[in-house]
Amino acid sequence: MKTLSILLKTFNFSSHSLSSTPLSLLHRRHFSSLPLSHPIYTIWAANTNLGKTLISAGIASSVLESPNPSQFNYIKPVQTGFPSDSDSRFVFTKVSDLFLRRRADFSLIASNHVVKVSDAASKEVLGKYEEKKVGGDGNLGEKRLICRTLCAWKEAVSPHLAVEREGGSVEDEELLEMVEKCLWMGVEGEEKGDCWSLIETAGGVASPGPSGTLQCDLYRPFRIPAILVGDGRLGGISGTISAYETLKLRGYDVVAVVLEDRGLANDGSLLSYLQNGLPVLVLPPVPQDLSDDLMEWFDESHDAFASLKQILLSSFTERVKRLHDMRKKAGDILWWPFTQHQLVPKEKVTVIDSRCGENFAVHKVDSCDVITQQFDACASWWTQGPTSALQIELARDMGYAAARYGHVMFPENVYEPALDCAELLLEGVGKGWASRTFFSDNGSTAIEVALKMAFRKFLYDHEATVDISDQNSKRSIEFRVLALNGSYHGDTLGAMEAQAPSSYTGFLQQPWYIGRGLFMDPPTVYMQCGNWNVELPNELSEGHKLEDLTFGFRDELFSKSRDSSDVSRSYVSYISKQLSAFSRSEQNKWIAALIIEPVIHGAGGMHMVDPLFQRILVRECQKQKIPVIFDEVFTGFWRLGVESAAELLHCSPDIACYAKLLTGGIIPLAATLATEAVFDTFVSDSKLKALLHGHSYSAHAMGCTAATKSIKNYKDQKKNPNLTPNGRALKEIWDTELVNKISMHPQIKRLMVLGTVFAVELQTHGSNAGYASTIATSIIQKLREDGIYARPLGNVIYLMCGPCSSPRTCSELLAKLHHRIDEFHKNNLSSIP
C-alpha cells in the first residue's frame, strides 16, 4: 500500500473537486504547467468504438516492459456507462495480466482509482482502489501502473447528455486542473522516476465533453501531442482524415495514426493523403468478443506496439531538443524589433510553444523542463482580442478563405470577404461619417495612406491660396502636420515625419528625420491617490483653479458639459495662438493635416490626453479646413471600452486608420476610412490623379475574413459578456477598489485605466525614466514568474486584456502586479542606508 498512500497524500482528489487546490493554481487560467521530463500523449479516435482503450493498454504494456520506465500513468478524464464500462479498469486488468505472462524479472504494482462520479453512478466505488502486485520477485525493481478515472456517469451516452440527465456537472477548467495533477504524478517527490503518461479521450475527436465543449477544444490549452486511432472499416478513410484535420486545425501535433486491419487497406490511402512522413501503423483484427483471445491478440500486436512506443519516444526527445535549441539559436540568427540584444541573455529568451486565446504556453527550464502558462498581458503588441473559442473560429474561417481564394489581386475586383469587411467597418467605426474603405497591411502603412489622402484634400480645399500651378512654386511649398508631443504613428519614414522628436525618431534611428510638423504639448490626465487630475502644459498652467483640474470620477472627463468651462476657453486660445504663430513665421509652409491618437498615446508611454483638448483641437482644425486624421490603430475596436475612440471625443474625423484588434491579432490587415469628400478629391479622368498607393496583398481574403469574424464577435452580447445592455460600451473590467489602492501606492507616480488598458508609471530618481529606463526590469521578471507576460515602456508598466476578457482575470492580474510593486518598493527602502 506504499504507492497508494503516497498518491493520496500528494493529490488528495475528492468529490468536492478543487477544495485542496493551492491558491496559486486557482488563480491561473486553464492550467499552470505541464512536465516535459517524460513523454505525455493524448489518444484520440476518429469515432467511438475504434479501440482506443486496447491501444492504450498495448502502449502501457510495451512501455512497462522496457528496462527504463518505472511508472505509467493512464488517465481517463471522462467515462460514461460506469461502472459496467470502465476503461481504466480494463487497462489495469489487461496490462496486469500481460505483465504476469511476460515478465519474471520485475514486479508490477497496479492501481485503479475513481475520483468523481455522478449521483446515479455507484458511489460506493468512489475513493476505492483496486490494487494488485504481479510479476516476478522484483529483484530488478518495481514498476507502477496507475490508472485513474476522473469523472464518471452511469448512462452510456455522450458526457454532455449524461450531465443533463444525471447531474454531476464538471466545468472545463476544473477537469483540466484534475488532469494536470495526474500528469505530475511520479515527477516530483520521493517517488520520482522515469514515467510515461497517456490521456484517453471519450468518443471521437469532436465528441462533446461534460460541459458541451468539444473535446478537441476542451483539451486545447494543454496541446499535448496526439495519437490518432483511425478507422479501418468501410468509410473509415474519410472519417480518419476529418479527425486528423480537426486536430491539425486546432494546433495539435499528430505523432502517429494507428488503425485496425479490416482488410480494406485504408492505411495505404491515408499514407498517400498525409504525404508528410507521419507513421500509419496497422494492428491485427480485434476479436469480436473482447473477453476471449485478447492475450493472443496482444501477442500478435507486440511488434506494432514496440514500434509505436519507439515513435513516441523519438518524437518526445526531438520535441524537447527543438525547444532547447530555439532558445540557443534565437540570439544568434534573429534580429528582434524594439530590442537591445545585449540586454537579453540567451537564457532569458522566451520560447513560446503556442498560444490559446489570451495565454502563451511557454517552455521553461526549472527543476525540470515544463510547458507553463503565461497570460499575454501586452496583448501581443496590442493586437489580441479573441478568446480561445474565437481563435478556433478564426482559424476555421480563414482556412475556408484560403482554400476558396488563395490570394487574388484587389484593383477593380470584388470578392465577398473584402466587401463584407468594408461594410462592417463603415457601419461600425465609420458610422455617420465615413463612406470609403482603403485596405492595406499594417498600421504604419495605413497612416501613410491617410497622410496622402489628407494632403490632397487640403490642396483641393485651399487651391485658391496654395498655388502649385508652376514647377518653381511646387518646390517652395511644404506641407506640415499638426500633431501632439508624445504621440506615435508608426515606423515608416512618412509616419515618423508626422510625429514629434522621441526615442523612435532620434538620429541613430532615423538620420533623415526632420519632423515635418507643428508639435503641441497636450494637457494629460492621470489618476493619483484615487482622484483624476489634469496636468496642463507650461503655456496653460497659470490661472486655473485646482477644482477645475481634479475629478472624482473618470467619466466626468468625457462629459460635453466641460465645453463651457474656463479650461475649455483656455484650450481654444492656446490652440489658436499656436496655429497663428506658425502661419506667420513659416512662409509657404502649411498645416495640411491634424493627426492624433484619440484619448491615449500608446507607445509614447500610455498617457491619457484630456479629451476636451482633443475635441477642441479637432473642431478648430475643421473650422480652418485642415483635414483631421484619427490614428485608431491602437485605440480602435473596443480597446478603450467603446468601438471607436471617436465616441469618447464626441466628434468625427475626416480620415481614420485601423489595424491591430481589427483581425483579432491572427493575421495582418489595416484599413484607412475616409469621407466621400476626401474620396472625391482623387476622382478624375487622369489615372495620375488616382491614389497611387497599394501593396500586393491589399484586402487579402484571409485578413478580411478574420476581421469580419472579429468585429462581429466583439459586438455579440452572447459571445462578449462585457458589453453593457445597450451594446454601446464595455462594462468596467478592472476592479475599482484595487485600482484605487494601487493609485495610492508611494511607488506609483501616475495611473491610467480605460477600457482594456491599465498602466502605471513608476517613481524614478535622476535620469532613470522614459523609454530607456530599466527600473521596471525586475518587476517584469517577477510577473513572468507569476504567469504574466508583460513588456514595459521604460518605467511604465501596462497590462492589457481583450474586449471579452473575464473581469476575474483582470483582478488577478492587478493583484499580482500590486504585490510585485509593493515588494519592489520595500526592497528599495531596505537598501537605503
pLDDT number for residue 2: 30
Into which CATH architecture does domain 1-11+69-222 fall? Answer: 3-Layer(aba) Sandwich (3.40)
Task: Give the strand pairing for 531-535 and 550-551.
Answer: antiparallel
Beta strands in 104-249 (DSSP E): 107-117, 129-135, 142-152, 195-200, 226-229
pLDDT number for residue 119: 78
Nearest Cα residue to 39 out of 228, 198, 255: 198
pLDDT number for residue 3: 28
When pLDDT is cut at 50, 70 and 90, the band that residue 469 belongs to is: low
Q: Can you give the pTM of this predicted structure? A: 0.91
Beta strands in 1-51 (DSSP E): 33-35, 40-45
- 184-188, 338-342, 475-479, 630-634: range with lowest mean pLDDT: 184-188
- 354-363, 514-523, 576-585, 786-795: range with lowest mean pLDDT: 576-585
Residue 40 CB contacts under 8 Å (≥ 6 apart), including other chains? 34, 183, 196, 197, 198, 199, 224, 225
Q: Quick check: 46 and 242 in contact, CB under 8 A?
A: yes
Omega before residue 668 within 30° of 0, cis: no
Which three cell numbers mark 10? 500528494
pLDDT number for residue 76: 97
pLDDT number for residue 488: 95
Nearest Cα residue to 160 out of 105, 215, 109: 215
Into which CATH architecture does domain 388-714 fall? Answer: 3-Layer(aba) Sandwich (3.40)
When pLDDT is cut at 50, 70 and 90, the band that residue 509 belongs to is: confident
Convert the pLDDT of each residue in 33-76 to its tens digit: 899 989 999 999 999 999 999 999 999 999 999 888 889 999 99
Convert the pLDDT of each residue in 710-741 to its tens digit: 999 999 999 999 999 999 999 999 999 999 99
Nearest Cα residue to 139 out of 99, 107, 103: 107
pLDDT number for residue 100: 83
When pLDDT is cut at 50, 70 and 90, the band that residue 541 belongs to is: confident
- Is the pLDDT confidence value at 307 over 90? yes
Measured CA angle at 371 (ends 210, 823), to 5 deg: 105
Residue 493 CB contacts under 8 Å (≥ 6 apart), including other chains? 510, 512
What gap in Å lies between CA 202 and CA 47, rounded to an integer?
Answer: 9
Beta strands in 552-669 (DSSP E): 589-596, 600-601, 607-609, 628-631, 655-658
Nearest Cα residue to 198 out of 305, 126, 122, 121: 305
Convert the pLDDT of each residue in 404-435 to its tens digit: 999 999 999 999 999 999 999 999 999 999 99
- Is the pLDDT confidence value at 584 over 80? no
Task: Give the strand pairing for 280-283 and 142-152.
Answer: unpaired
Which three cell numbers mark 206? 469532436
- Is the pLDDT confidence value at 368 over 90? no
When pLDDT is cut at 50, 70 and 90, the band that residue 26 belongs to is: very low
When pLDDT is cut at 50, 70 and 90, the band that residue 11 belongs to is: very low
| pLDDT top residue among 270 and 292 | 270
Residue carrying C-alpha cell 483484427:
285
What's the whole-number mean pLDDT along residues 457-475? 74
b/e map 270-280, b = 16+ CB within 10 Å? beeebeeebbb
| pLDDT top residue among 11 and 466 | 466
Q: Quick check: 701 and 405 in contact, CB under 8 A?
A: yes
pLDDT number for residue 767: 65
| Percentage of the chain exceeding pLDDT 70 | 91
- Is the pLDDT confidence value at 831 over 70? no
The 8-class DSSP code of residue 56 comes to H
Domain ranges within the chain, ordered by starting residue = 1-11+69-222, 350-382+732-831, 388-714
Task: Give the strand pairing for 40-45 and 33-35.
Answer: unpaired
| pLDDT top residue among 108 and 624 | 624
- Is the pLDDT confidence value at 20 over 70? no
Report CA-CA distances (Å) from 449 to 446, 632, 680: 5, 14, 15
pLDDT number for residue 735: 96
Q: Which amino acid is at 700?
A: H
When pLDDT is cut at 50, 70 and 90, the band that residue 236 belongs to is: very high
- Is the pLDDT confidence value at 277 over 90? no
- Which residue blocks in 250-355 are alpha helix, DSSP H? 266-274, 294-300, 302-333
When pLDDT is cut at 50, 70 and 90, the band that residue 260 belongs to is: very high
What gap in Å lies between CA 438 and CA 673, rounded to an integer?
Answer: 6
What gap in Å lies between CA 237 and CA 270, rounded to an integer?
Answer: 7
Quick check: helix, strand or coil at residue 551?
strand
When pLDDT is cut at 50, 70 and 90, the band that residue 440 belongs to is: very high
pLDDT number for residue 290: 65
Q: How many CA atoms lie within 13 A of 785 on its CB side?
A: 9
- Is the pLDDT confidence value at 16 over 60? no
pLDDT number for residue 239: 96
Q: Quick check: 678 and 457 in contact, CB under 8 A?
A: yes
pLDDT number for residue 507: 86
Which three cell numbers mark 144? 507502477
Q: Span 350-382+732-831: which CATH code?
A: 3.90.1150.10
> What is the overall mean pLDDT for the chain?
89
Task: Give the strand pairing for 524-528 and 517-520.
Answer: unpaired
Measured CA angle at 575 (ends 573, 579), to 5 deg: 115
Residue 521 CB contacts under 8 Å (≥ 6 apart), including other chains? 484, 485, 537, 538, 539
Which three cell numbers mark 804? 471579452
Convert the pLDDT of each residue in 99-155 to its tens digit: 888 776 778 888 888 888 887 777 666 666 688 778 665 556 788 999 999 999 999
- Is the pLDDT confidence value at 532 over 80? yes
When pLDDT is cut at 50, 70 and 90, the band that residue 19 belongs to is: very low
What's the whole-number mean pLDDT along residues 193-211? 94
When pLDDT is cut at 50, 70 and 90, the band that residue 358 belongs to is: very high
Q: Which amino acid is at 196?
A: W
pLDDT number for residue 470: 52
Which uninterrupted H or E stretch holds 581? helix 566-585
